[in-house]
């Protein structure tokens, strides 16, 4: 691991993210609050977002770790029906107020890594 990689946090094995399947949940500190986040795979790439609808600050999943609609094309808020693009988090319809907060991921050697920032940090242990 290089110095540039030292701040990356292993999230899961790449194989854990199935195309349009269940998300891998994880906790982050954002704006001083501990919040849930989730990682998914869409069109072969891994993506992650805060699990927080932009319409009303509620978690999106209608069942644990299920975010995709029946077509596998959109991420849906189970409470209000807001739809988000899985690759960008942008609002695609419904009562959204902007896009989801995206969390940068990368994959290396079969592992999904997330990139903390000054606004988005790992929980302190």
The DSSP call for residue 122 is: P
Domain chopping of the chain, boundaries: 3-121
| Cβ neighbours of residue 74 closer than 8 Å, sequence gap 6 or more | 68, 83, 84, 85, 86, 92, 93
The domain 3-121 is placed in CATH, from the list 2.102.10.10, 3.30.1490.20, 1.10.10.10, 1.10.3720.10, at: 2.102.10.10
**Single pTM value for the model:** 0.91
**pLDDT score, position 2:** 44
Tokens linked to 51: 């699990």
Q: How far is CA 118 from the centre of its chain?
A: 17
Summarize pLDDT for 38-88 with one digit per residue, the tens.
999 999 999 999 999 888 878 998 789 999 999 999 999 988 889 999 999
Q: Taking the CA atoms of the chain, what radius of gyration do you get in angstroms? A: 14
């Amino acid at each position: 691991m290089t110095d540039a990689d030292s701040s990356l946090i292993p999230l899961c094995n790449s194989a854990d993210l199935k195309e349009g399947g269940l998300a891998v949940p994880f906790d982050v500190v954002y704006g001083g609050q501990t919040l849930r986040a989730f990682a998914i795979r869409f069109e072969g790439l891994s993506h992650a977002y805060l699990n927080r609808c932009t319409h009303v600050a509620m978690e999106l999943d209608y069942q644990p770790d299920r975010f995709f609609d029946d077509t596998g094309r959109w991420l849906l808020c189970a409470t209000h029906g807001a739809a988000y693009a899985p690759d960008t988090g942008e609002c695609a319809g419904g009562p959204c107020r902007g896009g989801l907060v995206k969390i940068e991921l990368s994959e290396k050697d079969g592992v999904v890594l997330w990139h903390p920032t000054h606004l988005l940090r790992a929980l302190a242990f």
